[in-house]
Amino acid sequence: MKIRVFDNPADAGIYAASLTERVVETTPTPVLGLATGSTTPPLYDALVSMEQYGLDLSEAVTINLDEYIGLSANHEQSYHHFMNHHLFSRLRKAPKEIHIPDGTAADLNEECHRYDSIIRKNPIDLQILGIGKNGHIGFNEPDDLLVLNTHVVNLSSDTIQANSRFFDSVDEVPRQALTMGVQAILQAKKIVLMAFGTEKSDIIAKVVHSPVRTELPATILQLHRDVTFVLDRDSASKLDMNSLLLSRS
């Protein structure tokens, strides 16, 4: 696990975009696993700027982590809308393929199987992640067991409350979502987890310093051979950097 700490989210976003560019430039058909939420806009802003100066994303395949169940693609709080607003509509050339789970599918189990098929056909080269305050990645919530494949998840009360800031009231937050499972995340060749702000400092410290356990889903990233945590100073403020340095010596 590599940890990179920046003065602010904008600088961190530029660094994450540079890691993305490296994958795009060295892979004939790069497959990018993308995330939503309040952490990722600095990355997408940087990618848009880089595309204006020559980065070509037109051969990329993008696969998003998750989507709320019950929200149409044009709903302002759907992740379809988020991706179009923050990235896709701003690019001069759209990616070759764009995949986001359909939270309005009539058969949600079939939608999960369809999405797993897409992932099998397009192994992910770089997976972008955010992290919830309870340690969830994607919408893989703390539980006794973590589900391997794409699945329907009941959102925890912590996640519903945290996401209520995007809605007019907590009652409007969907109670379920479709999410990529942990298997697809761990099978990505490279993973970049982004976290900003003091509100993420506790969970970042727990995930980095705790043993792997399902009640902290993000700790499973410790099992991956190429993970980079991209943080700002606030989110990294509770890390024991001395112990991390000693563990690598």
**pLDDT on residue 209:** 95
Model confidence pLDDT, tens digit, residues 208-231: 999 999 999 999 999 999 999 999
Q: Record the pTM.
A: 0.94
Spatial neighbors of 3 by CB under 8 A, at least 6 apart, are 208, 228, 229, 231, 236, 239, 244
**pLDDT on residue 234:** 97
**pLDDT on residue 249:** 42
Model confidence pLDDT, tens digit, residues 65-94: 999 999 999 999 999 999 999 999 999 999
CB burial class (10 A; 0-12, 13-18, 19+) of residue 146?
middle
Model confidence pLDDT, tens digit, residues 123-171: 999 999 999 999 999 999 999 888 899 999 999 998 999 888 889 889 9
**pLDDT on residue 240:** 87
Which are the catalytic amino acids? 66, 134, 136, 141
Topology (CATH level 3) of domain 2-248? Rossmann fold (3.40.50)
Per-chain mean pLDDT for the chain: 94
Residue 117 to residues 11, 99, 150, Cα–Cα distance (Å): 36, 11, 10
Max Cα distance, the chain (Å) = 53
Cβ(177)–Cβ(153) under 8 Å? Answer: yes
Model confidence pLDDT, tens digit, residues 178-197: 999 999 999 999 999 999 99
Q: Where are the domains of the chain?
A: 2-248
**pLDDT on residue 243:** 64
Percentage of the chain with pLDDT > 70?
97
**pLDDT on residue 117:** 97
Considering only residues 119 and 240, tell me which one the structure prediction assigns the higher pLDDT: 119
**pLDDT on residue 196:** 98
